Structure formats: C-alpha cells, structure tokens
Amino acid sequence: MILFKKGDELKKYLIKKAVEGISIGFVPTMGALHEGHLSLIRAAKEKNGLVVSSIFVNPTQFNDQQDYLHYPKTIDQDILLLEKSACDVLFLPDVQEIYPSGYLPDHYALGSLETVLEGKYRPGHFQGVCQVVDRLLAIVMPSTLFLGQKDYQQCMVIARLIHLKQYATDLHIVPTMRETSGLAMSSRNLRLNEQDRKKAAAIYAGLTHLKSRLKPGKIQSLCDDIANDLLRAGFEKVDYISIANAKTLDPVEEWDGETALVALAAVFLSGIRLIDNIPLT
Ligand code: AMP
C-alpha cells in the first residue's frame, strides 16, 4: 500500500493510473476502522483495478467539539487492516491539506435533506460532510465511490453533491455490517463499555420489532413505542426514531402500503450518540 499525505502528489499518481485505463474505487473514512469499513474496501476491490481509501477526521462536520476531540484514533492498526485488505493507496492528509488557508467553502443546496433527521439534530453537519467529500472527490476523481448504508442520510446527501458538482463518479452503497448482537458496527462503539455494547443491541432489535409490526395506516405510534422502550432500557436520550420515505427522507405518518420506507434511529447511550437504520420495505 502506498501512503500519500499531499493531495497534489496523490492526484498526479492517480491521473497516471486513470490514463492507463485503471478504474479507481474510493472509500473515504474517519479511521478507527472496523469490519464495516473493510466491507467497503472489499466491495471496491471487487469492482476496481485500484482502491484508494482516506482517513481524515473532518473537523467541519462535527457540531459538538467534545465529540471531535474524543473521536477514536487507531492509525497504526488502521494501516495494518488496510494492508491486510489489499487496499492499494491510503490518503492521510492533515487539516491544512484539506482546508488550506484561504479555503472558502461552497454552500451546498441540499434542500430538505439538511433539515430532517440528522440535519435537524446536527446543524451544519451535512455542509461539513459535503465540504470534505467535495475536496476528496476533486483530488481522487474515482470511477466509483463506496459508502455505507449505515449512514443512510449521508448517502443521499453525497448523491446530491455528486449531482450538484457533476462529478463523473458512480455511487455504490454497501449494506450495514453488524455485530452478532445486531449492533451496527461503528467507530463510536469503541467508546462504549462492555455492558453498554450489549445494551446498544436494543437499537437494532427495536427497529426490527418495528418492521415486524408495520402495516398500512397510521404508523407514528410504532416509533413512539420503540423510543419509550429504549428510554426504559437506560438510553438517556432519543433524538429520533422515525419512519421516512426511503427515497426522499420525508417523514411518513400514514403509510399507503406501497411507498418504500426506511426506519431510522439516533439515540444516546452513556453520552455516545449512536445511529442506525433499516429499510422496511
Ligand atoms: P466513518 O469512518 O464513520 O466516516 O465511515 C466511513 C464509511 O464507512 C462511511 O461510508 C460509512 O457509512 C461506512 N460505514 C461505517 N460503519 C459501517 C457499517 N457498520 N457497515 C457498513 N459501512 C459502514
């Protein structure tokens, strides 16, 4: 695996590869890698001649400074895992490389994607996500970008970014990788103690239970029931348990039995904010 810290050097290297006709698959991450990230690397490897991954904890997407400061960092282990997964290139920029002095962020027209769910509870988060992904796509110019369904709304935001900026990049969304307990793998799980990790499995169990009870008609009470169950189980806060239109993320309170739906959750356990989702239809 070749490691680059400078965007212009990486860009030069990748342009040469593209001229040789090699397709580039790209997996951006914030590090503290786990099997979920590696499933993206494997998917990229299957479909591309060259796989580029990046590790960059992007300050502009954190609306909570404490969350940014405590974001787990396991860079030596990450490099070993990427090498084992046969990742070809790692881009490891510092903040100055991504946001050099004089950098002026665009404003990205994300519409209602920015005001619902994560957008509502993390103001500015998706503008920050677009800033970093825009910078990374301009450097890597991948044929295909690989993202995890774990961050459902983020996938939709980045699809919008690709469209807005007319990047010649396809989007490939990889299903969520889970622990055997059902807990969605996440770098933030590293901050949970063993007991909380067990407790956190209740999020997926709740979403699965909700799915099993879904039928046409009014559906809001399914979400309220799960939220109350989680609070009773010791989760200290529920930002949302929500059923939304799977294509627009608009909230759905009454289901016609046909519209494709997704259930999404954001909850706090011991101060750690955890998100998950499952397609319902
Ligand atoms: P992150 O490092 O959390 O920014 O995640 C980097 C990429 O990995 C994003 O596209 C995530 O959606 C994806 N990802 C994170 N967790 C999982 C998971 N459990 N299963 C599949 N993809 C994931």
Q: Check residue 118 and give its pLDDT.
A: 98
pLDDT at 70: 94
The CATH number of the domain holding residue 10 is: 3.40.50.620
Buried b vs exposed e over 89-103: b needs ≥16 C-beta within 10 Å? bbbbbeeebbbeeee
| H-type alpha helices, 165-216 | 194-213
The pLDDT assigned to 168 comes to: 98
Give the pLDDT of residue 141: 98
Is 179 domain-assigned?
A: no
Same domain? For 98 and 206 the reply is: no
Pick the residue whose CA is nearest to atom 7 on ligand 1: 29
Q: Please check whether residue 181 lies inside any domain of the structure.
A: no
**Ligand 1 pocket check: which of 33, 38, 39, 40 to mutate, most ligand atoms within 8 Å of Cβ?**
40
Same domain, 98 and 227: no
- Residue at which a domain ends, from 174, 199, 233: 174
The pLDDT value recorded for residue 23 is 98
125, 148, 174: which is the final residue of a domain? 174
pLDDT of residue 137: 98
Residues in the chain: 281
169 and 191, same domain (yes or no): no
Q: pLDDT per residue over 147-200, tens digit each?
A: 999 999 999 999 999 999 999 999 999 999 999 999 999 999 999 999 999 999
Looking at the structure, tell me whether residues 263 and 195 fall in a common domain.
yes
Q: Does 191 lie in the same domain as 129?
A: no
User: What local confidence, expressed as pLDDT, does residue 100 receive?
Assistant: 97
Residue 231 lies in a domain: yes
What is residue 176's DSSP assignment? P
Contact status, residue 28 vs residue 114, Cβ threshold 8 Å: no
Phi, psi of 126 (to 5 degrees): -75, -25
Choosing from 128, 150, 174, the residue where a domain stops is: 174
Same domain, 128 and 193: no
User: Cβ distance 263 to 240 under 8 Å?
Assistant: no
* Same domain membership, residue 192 and residue 170: no
Q: So what's the pLDDT on residue 96?
A: 98
Query: Which of 62, 150, 179, 189 should be mutated for ligand 1, with most atoms under 8 A from CB?
Result: 150
Q: Are residues 15 and 130 in the same domain?
A: yes
Q: Stretch 102-122: mean pLDDT, rounded?
A: 97
The reported pLDDT for the residue numbered 232 is: 98
Residues 104 and 211 in one domain: no
For residue 92, the model assigns a pLDDT of: 98
Number of domains in the chain: 2
Looking at the structure, tell me whether residues 95 and 164 fall in a common domain. yes
User: 209 an active-site residue?
Assistant: no
What's the rounded mean pLDDT across residues 237-249?
98
- The predicted-structure confidence for 58-93, as pLDDT tens digits, reads as follows 999 999 999 999 999 999 999 999 999 999 999 999
Catalytic hit among 34, 37, 125, 172: 37
Q: What is the pLDDT of residues 15-67, one digit of tens each?
A: 999 999 999 999 999 999 999 999 999 999 999 999 999 999 999 999 999 99
Q: For residue 180, tell me if it sits in a domain.
A: no
Any domain includes 281: no
CATH number for the domain spanning 251: value is: 3.30.1300.10
Q: Which domain holds residue 239?
A: 187-276
Question: What residues are in contact with ligand 1 under a 6 Å CB criterion?
Answer: 29-30, 36-37, 39-40, 147-148, 150-151, 174, 176-177, 184-187
What is this structure's pTM?
0.98
**For the residues 83-104, what does the mean pLDDT come to?**
97
Residue 166 and residue 197 in one domain: no
